[in-house]
Chain A
Amino acid sequence: AQSVTQPDIHITVSEGASLELRCNYSYGATPYLFWYVQSPGQGLQLLLKYFSGDTLVQGIKGFEAEFKRSQSSFNLRKPSVHWSDAAEYFCAVGGSEYGNKLVFGAGTILRVKS
């Protein structure tokens, strides 16, 4: 069965500090991996995606993620967090074998302190 685990429910970082949000997945085929961000009461905005090729992917707003097949992980990173990054972050896995429907993790709420 497909599943996504985001081990951290909440993370608090200081503005300007680096950030890493963890994501582990279980998937029975070649995974497509995504990170989305959601502000309160809003829909989801795609930060970045991995389909194939280079395992380090760059996204919007200065985010990047690294796909590690051996660890079944797709962790999200940002070298310097801004107060506007405070939001909830969701990791998701999908694939063409399953109609490209997405399976999401439970999310990580990021708080930024000044």
Chain B
Amino acid sequence: DTGVSQDPRHKITKRGQNVTFRCDPISEHNRLYWYRQTLGQGPEFLTYFQNEAQLEKSRLLSDRFSAERPKGSFSTLEIQRTEQGDSAMYLCASSLAGGPSEQFFGPGTRLTVL
């Protein structure tokens, strides 16, 4: 297994455009998490899935953000009508469910909104 992968690694967009990011977790992991990291800060939790069910969303996740994990494998995070404040690194992580487990992180997608 090659670990968690994310695509694209970098995205530059203009304000008001929509963007979509993809995350492919470690294949046997049934939990998938999205975090956002801004400069000088630690990652902040956005949402997580167990299999295809989205179990929790942070209040950071405004109605412009939507995440899916349609078949319990890869996940997408879409941001509609991007704003400059959305510029950040978006990190995906996966883990096993049931009991304590570590999260394995992908390399992240760096979003720049002009």
Contacts and interface: CB of A to CB of B under 8 A. Distances in A.
A90 B44 CA distance: 12
A106 B56 contact: no
* Interface range on chain B (Cβ under 8 Å from partner): 20 to 34
A101 B45 contact: yes
Given A43-B91, A44-B91, A99-B48, A106 B42 contact: yes
A99 B56 contact: yes
B95 interface: yes
B100 A102 contact: no
A100 B91 contact: no
B102 A46 contact: yes
A107 B33 CA distance: 20
12 contacts: A4-B42, A43-B4, A43-B91, A51-B100, A94-B103, A99-B55, A99-B56, A101-B33, A102-B103, A105-B42, A106-B40, A107-B42
Given A43-B91, A101-B56, 10 more contacts: A41-B110, A43-B105, A46-B103, A51-B100, A52-B100, A90-B43, A96-B100, A99-B56, A102-B45, A102-B93
Interface of B: 4, 31, 33, 35, 40-45, 48, 55-56, 91, 93, 95, 99-108, 110
